Chain A
């Protein structure tokens, strides 16, 4: 879980980096160049297979955990003051992950598949920036994306530091640093992701 999680976390840095190119505000030229490079580089095509494999393994591990752990307590407590001893998002990783999966299905069917079709049919240049502009002019698309990003934020807030604990890294000196980096990462990555649909919807980028 930790290993695949950290792999996906490293992918998000690349993803958010490419996305942030829209804020150059040059009618999407920088962004389209970056997106074109990402989709036309054969090394990245191979890495992409690894990414989907990582995602799949992460989901399967999650399902296995859910199955084993829900069987470990057949009778629940009538009263459970769980908020007194742990954070809600740490206890809701399965739920947040499921929300993220639904979001990913919508997200991939919207942008990823279109990009692939354009890549392999190959006749006309694909303008992802214009496509995004159009998609994010619909308020309900923006809402779906914001729900996705919020789920991602809580999922990562637990996941980042949790991965290190799983690897056996719990150190008086380094763990507070890891936790701070985790919070910084979550805030920056999620804020950048959230700003994208908002910027298009509010027509900050023309």
Chain B
């Protein structure tokens, strides 16, 4: 792959704290390598800002290998930038050309308040997972691996759902800021397996109730979430959650 350098104009959201109105600030970065990751480009910019005695841009990041779900930038109008099934940390500067202007904004949702600059508070997701509660497992000796037979397809589907990293791109990209893709992945990964079966009903009811409480919008099936999800979580999970929810509402007493 051709290696090149580029000069870029960045328009980045700057916001002191959750009460500040915030605005887009323009920055220039020079001599950026096409082999850098998008976050490395931000590191270069922040070094530059710190050297000049300015406030660096706050952004979330952790593993930088696309599995932790911490990075969260809305780049040129798309969650995690222009590449499909990709996180911001795995977006490389070869996606851009010399002279490009790149607009970077934080995730936008009432349920994800901005903490500072590009960092948002995604603890609403943690509270939804907590609302799902525990699964009952036997303690004592480890059970034989194949003691409970599980259909290969169910195991695969559960694993696919479990690959959700909880980054919030689904909420960020949905026109309604709906968290249905995230919640449905978390519901599905347990609903598909016998280990998750005993608490199936209460789990889906409680998680959906918490989701509504957090102020996320409703799903109107535009499927933008699936298109932007870095892990390719399918909207079939949303349909499964709708089924589980309907079943649970009809069959439980409360």
Closest Cβ–Cβ distance, residue A121 to chain B (whole Å): 44
A90 with B236: CB separation less than 8 A = no
Alpha-carbon distance between A87 and B177 when the two chains are bound, in angstroms: 17
The answer to whether B92 has its CB under 8 Å from any CB of chain A is: no
List residues 229-252 of chain B with CB under 8 A from any CB of chain A.
Answer: 235-236, 238-244, 246
Contact call A72/B109, Cβ cutoff below 8 A = yes
In the complex, the answer to whether B242 meets A166 with C-beta atoms within 8 Å is yes
Instruction: Mark out the residues of chain B between 204 and 237 whose CB falls within 8 Å of any chain A CB in the assembled complex.
Output: 215-218, 220-224, 227-228, 235-236
A138 to chain B, nearest CB (A): 37
Contact (Cβ within 8 A) B221 A165: yes
Known: A72-B216, A82-B224, A86-B227. A169 touches B110 (CB 8 A): no
By a CB distance below 8 angstroms, the chain B residues around A170 are 235-236, 238-240
Annotate A71-92 by CB proximity to B: 1 below 8 A, 0 otherwise. Answer: 1111111111110111100110
Contact assessment for A85 and B238 in the assembled complex, using a CB-CB cutoff below 8 Å: no
| Complex alpha-carbon distance, A170 and B221, angstroms | 12
Q: In the bound complex, how far is the Cα of B108 from the Cα of A199, in angstroms?
A: 49
Q: Mark B96-114, 1 if CB is under 8 A from A, else 0.
A: 0000000101001111000
In the assembled complex, which residues on chain B have CB atoms less than 8 Å from the CB atom of A161? 221
Distance in Å: Cβ of A168 to nearest Cβ of chain B: 3
* Stretch from B30-38, B47-55, B74-82 contacting the other chain: B74-82
User: Is the Cβ of B224 less than 8 Å from the Cβ of A85?
Assistant: yes
Instruction: Report the bound CA distance from A162 to B242 in whole Å.
Output: 12
Contact in complex: B108, A77 (CB < 8 Å): yes
Cα–Cα distance between A191 and B167 once the two chains are bound (Å): 44
Residues of A within 8 A of B74 (CB): 77
Q: Is A65 an interface residue (CB 8 A)?
A: yes
Q: Are A168 and B240 touching (Cβ within 8 A)?
A: yes
Q: Can you list, as one digit per residue, whether each of B106-129 has a CB less than 8 Å from chain A (1) or not (0)?
A: 001111000000000000000000
Note all chain A residues with C-beta closer than 8 A to B215: 71-72
Q: How far is the CA of A200 from the CA of B177 in the complex (A)?
A: 46
Q: Using a Cβ–Cβ cut-off of 8 Å, how many residues does chain A contribute to the interface with B?
A: 32
Contacts beyond the supplied A72-B110, A90-B221: 4 A-B pairs with Cβ under 8 Å: A71-B217, A79-B76, A169-B239, A170-B238
When chains A and B are docked, how far (Å) is the Cα of A91 from the Cα of B220? 8
Residue-by-residue, is B47-65 near A (CB-CB < 8 Å gives 1, otherwise 0)?
A: 0000000000000000000
CB-contact partner of A75 in B108, B178, B243, under 8 A: B108
Shortest distance in angstroms between A119's beta carbon and chain B's nearest beta carbon? Answer: 39
A contact set with B: CB distance below 8 Å: 65, 68-69, 71-82, 84-87, 90-91, 93, 158, 161-162, 165-171
Min C-beta distance of A183 to chain B, whole Å? 16
- Given the interface pairs A71-B110, A79-B105, A168-B239, the reply to whether A162 lies near B224 with Cβ below 8 Å is no
Checking A72, A75, A86 against B222 with a beta-carbon cut-off of 8 angstroms, the contacting residue is A86
Q: Does A166 lie within 8 Å of B221, measured CB to CB?
A: yes
**Total A-B contacts with CB atoms under 8 angstroms apart:** 106
Collect the chain A residues with CB atoms within 8 Å of residue B224's CB: 82, 85-86, 91
Most buried by B among A69, A71, A93, A162: A69
By a CB distance below 8 angstroms, the chain A residues around B223 are 85-86, 90
Q: How far is the CA of A68 from the CA of B216 in the complex (A)?
A: 9
Cβ of B24 under 8 Å from chain A: yes
- The chain B residue with its CB closest to the CB of A164 is B239
- Nearest CB of A to B15, in Å: 10
Q: How far is the CA of A72 from the CA of B240 in the complex (A)?
A: 24
Chain A residues within 8 Å of B222, by CB: 86-87, 90-91
Which partner residue on chain A sits nearest B227 by CB separation? A85
Check B173 for interface membership: any CB of A closer than 8 A. Answer: yes
* Pair A69/B220 contact, Cβ less than 8 Å: yes
B130 within 8 A of A: no
Q: Does B195 sit at the interface, judged by CB under 8 A?
A: no
Taking CB atoms, residues of chain B closer than 8 Å to A91 are 175, 222, 224
Chain B residues, Cβ within 8 Å of A85:
78, 173, 223-224, 227-228
Contact of A73 with B217 in the complex, beta carbons under 8 Å: yes
Interchain CA distance A152-B105 in the complex, whole Å: 36
Report how far A136 CA is from B238 CA in the complex, Å: 45
Of B77, B177, B228, B243, the residue contacting A72 (CB under 8 A) is B177
